[in-house]
Structures are given as structure tokens and as C-alpha cells.
Structure 1
Amino acid sequence: MNEKVLVVDDNINNIRLLKEILEDENFLVHTSDDGVSTLEMVLNLKPDIILLDIMMPGMDGYEVCRTLKTNSLTQDIPVIMVTAKTEGEDVKRALDLGAFDYIKKPIDEIEVVARVQSALRFKKQQDKLKEMASRDGLTGVYNHALLLELFQKEFTKQERSGGNLAFVMLDIDHFKKVNDTYGHMAGDTVLKELTKIIVSNVRNGDIVGRYGGEEFGLVLTDISLEKVCQLCERIRQAIENNAFDIGTELIKITVSMGICFRKPDDSLTGGEMIKKADESLYKAKLMGRNRIELAAN
């Protein structure tokens, strides 16, 4: 199992009891005794579920829950309120704020385990649905919408931390000819095999998405310009040297790529980076295809 559970309560006896119950079920239990430090802890720990006491001094459980549910980084973490306040209005307020469930005090071991397991099952189902909705059905990489969303998040993150960022546009050369000559099923086979080549040549943490049709987008973070160019050239060569098996024969294809690289002191916006990468891709096509072009900032 080993899911991470964060228990938040200002009463040390309640913390000890919940910790013992959950550790007996092989959960990894972390604890916090006040609302303010909990918010930072959640961001760093990324727990699978939070057991949150309502009545705490300073920031109470209601306010902690409200804050977690309005932050895109924490809003999907199930929160179970732990409380002696089980009147209808108290429960309704907690659920309205986004809590998944509640556990009443005094704490019952069987109830705690059952409600935690129920919340985790629901989260796994939701995560699976979310993952399916965010993926391109053919290639399995991120779809256009999520690619741009993740790029914007990385742009904001790198802008704040002062890191380098690159956006790369990749397009299959003469892909229409593949579809016209061999059929769309062969074209789909090429797209799937090409995606595997791209994914196998990027780093863990790099973002790969299908921008549209035969175009792909790559988001590369915390990387030097030299390393970006080396990575793109590695992908270009791997695709050029690969024989794509379309069932009836082996065919060869090439790709063109456009790179926009942003250093911390550059003033480019995210939208401008995508535009420049696209313009560089177009230039690579004009210059003869099967090549990489770098945008000038």
C-alpha cells in the first residue's frame, strides 16, 4: 500500500491514535499540529490523502480545507475532516468547502480505515479518468490542450526560479505523402512509432505532447541551449535512421524541428515562445527539411 497520509490535529493524543491505526494498515503517516504549517507541508509532501481536524487554534480546519481546494496544486487531494462537530450544518459546511468525507470523534478504528480506503479508491478512479482525458488517443502523449497548460505552468515556474526553458516544435516531413501512398492506418502506425522514438530520447520530466496532426511539442526545463540542440539532433537522427514497419513494407521518414530557447533574463512570453518555435519550424521546412532551426531572440 504505502500511500502517504497527512494527519492534522492540535491534540497529540488524537495524532498518536490515528498514526497507530494507519501505520498498522501500512500507510506512511506524516503529522502536523497547526493549520498554517500544514499548507506548506502539503506542497512539499504531496500526500495521497489528508485527515484534517476542524477545531484548531488560529487557522481552523475549514479554512485549511478551503485554501487547499482553491489551489490547483492541492485541490485533487482528498480531505477527510475529523471532528466531534457532527451536526448537519457543520458537516454540510465541510462538504461544501470540498471535503471528501468526515470521521466523527471519538475515533473508531474500523471507521477510520474504511473511510480512508474509500477515499483513496475514489482518487485512483478520478486520477485514471483524468489521465485518459489528458492523453492523445493515438500516441499516448499529452494532448494539445494539456501540452499548452503544462508549458504555461513550467513557464511560470522557470520565470519564478530563474531557470532556462525551451519549447520545441517537431513536424514530420511530407507526412501527407505517407497517408496518400500507404493509407491512414500506415500513417497512424508511423505516428505511434515516431512518438516512441521521441519519448525514449527525452529526459525524465521533459514534456512531450501532440500539438496537432503530425506536429509535436516538447517542453524542456533547466537545460542549457547546447543540451537542447544535442537532444533535438539525437531525436532527428534516430527518426531518420529508423525503418518504420507499416505492415506491408519498411519506409523511411524525416522530421523538421524549430527551437525557441529562453534564458532567465529574456522577456519572451509563453505565447511568443510558441510562435517563435513555430516560425523556426517553418524556416527549417523552407531550408530543405530534415533539419533543426533555432529562433533568434
Structure 2
Amino acid sequence: MEESLMKGEEERLGGVELRVLLVDDSPVERRIVEGLFKSTGDMFQVITVDSGRRAMEILGLNEHKTESPDVVEHKVDIILTDYCMPEMTGYDLLKAVKEQNFDRTIPVIIMSSENEPQRINRCLAIGAEDFIIKPLQTNDVLRLKNYARRSAISPRNGTKRKMTAELMAENGATDRRPRLTGLAVA
């Protein structure tokens, strides 16, 4: 049964459709980004909202759950959010999503027209998958598919990452012996 679930997830991620929650307070920006998604083919289903609070409702993270027909609780593959928004910033939304214990991680990508290294580092430090400087390009949109694939294949098991033998070899660490440089034997 688990194998068929993985196969279904792989087929969906193989090019059929990824559900993207697009969060931006600017209607013009939402239309532009949604147009970029549509120009890449049928692989994206875009749900657009105008605020972090509305995104929380869509994700089922608000205090007063509504029975709105567009509530997709936890069925979002990627969240793409603007950083600067009134009431709730993209950073605040990122924190709220990362604090949840979903069955799998939902990649959150922050976008902003301001290239501020401190802001970028702050978002990446708490778990943003990427930080994209506006205006978004077609290549930025296509990269989102890879983020969704990684999150679907790797369920949330915590934040520890194992280094494979391949990566160790690439990094010059061919064996696991500790280095004892400078150790004096009595």
C-alpha cells in the first residue's frame, strides 16, 4: 500500500500538477506571478490569496476554522509568499508554517523586491527553502517543482540530515576516522 502511495505522489510530481499557495497583497503581482505559472504548462495549480492571514485560513491554521469551499487544509505542495505585507509578513507566515507538525514539510519560498542580506539570512535561518528577488522569472517558477519533489519524498523526521558516502567523498572525507592532530601520547 505504501508503495502505491509513493507511486501516486511521484506521478503527480512527475509533471501532472503541484498545488502552489501564492500569497501577495498586490493584485498586480499576483496576476503576474500566476501568469508565469500558467506559461510553464499544466504542472501547477495556483491558489492566490492577498494576505498571510488568508493563507493561514487556507492551510487550516487559523483559530476560527471556516468551512469555506476553498479551504484545502494541508493539501498545498509549495507556499510562495511576498515578504512585505500588512498585518502579517511573509516572515511571520513562514514561522507559523514551520511551527506546525504536518505529515510532510511544506516548502516556503519568500519573494521580495528588496535585496536585503539580513532579511534573506533571517528567513533562510528559520527554514525558508529559498528567497527570490522580484521580479520572478520563468526559471524561478520551474525551480519550485524541485522543492515540492524533495518535500514529498522526505517526510518530516526532524531537522537532522545524514551525509551520504557520495557527499562525503565529494567533500574529501573518504573515511570516518577522527582526526587526532596534535594529540600527545604519554
Give TM class, smaller chain. Answer: 0.5 to 0.7
What does residue 180 of structure 2 align with? none
Whether 2:67 is the aligned partner of 1:58: answer no
Separation in structure 1 between the aligned mates of residue 138 and residue 28 of structure 2, nearest angstrom: 14
Whether 2:21 is the aligned partner of 1:6: answer yes
List aligned pairs for 1:21-60, cutoff 5 A.
21-24=36-39, 25-26=41-42, 27-43=44-60, 44-45=71-72, 46-60=75-89
Which protein, 1 or 2, shows the higher relative CO under an 8 Å CA cutoff with sep ≥ 6? 2
List aligned pairs for 1:109-128, cutoff 5 A.
109-114=138-143, 116-127=144-155
If the length of structure 1 is used for normalisation, what is the TM-score? Answer: 0.41
Separation in structure 2 between the aligned mates of residue 66 and residue 54 of structure 1, nearest angstrom: 12
Summarize deviations over 1:217-272 as a string: whole Å, max 9, x none: xxxxxxxxxxxxxxxxxxxxxxxxxxxxxxxxxxxxxxxxxxxxxxxxxxxxxxxx
* Identical-pair percentage: 30
Deviation at 1:17, TM superposition (A): 1.2
* Runs of 4+ more than 4 Å apart: none
If the length of structure 2 is used for normalisation, what is the TM-score? Answer: 0.63
The 3 A distance-change label for structure 1 pair 74 and 54 is farther
Separation in structure 2 between the aligned mates of residue 74 and residue 85 of structure 1, nearest angstrom: 33
What does residue 19 of structure 1 align with? 34
What does residue 70 of structure 1 align with? 99
Bigger CA radius of gyration: 1
Q: Which amino acid aligns with 1:7?
A: L
Aligned residues: 128
Which structure carries more helix by proportion?
A: 1
The 3 A distance-change label for structure 1 pair 33 and 74 is farther
Separation in structure 2 between the aligned mates of residue 42 and residue 23 of structure 1, nearest angstrom: 23
Deviation at 1:89, TM superposition (A): 0.9
Unaligned runs of 5+ in 2: 1-15, 61-70, 158-186
Deviation at 1:55, TM superposition (A): 0.3
Deviation at 1:63, TM superposition (A): 0.6
List aligned pairs for 1:1-297, cutoff 5 A.
1-24=16-39, 25-26=41-42, 27-43=44-60, 44-45=71-72, 46-73=75-102, 76-114=105-143, 116-127=144-155
Summarize deviations over 1:130-161 as a string: whole Å, max 9, x none: 6xxxxxxxxxxxxxxxxxxxxxxxxxxxxxxx
**8 Å contact kept, 1:80–1:103:** yes
Deviation at 1:4, TM superposition (A): 0.6
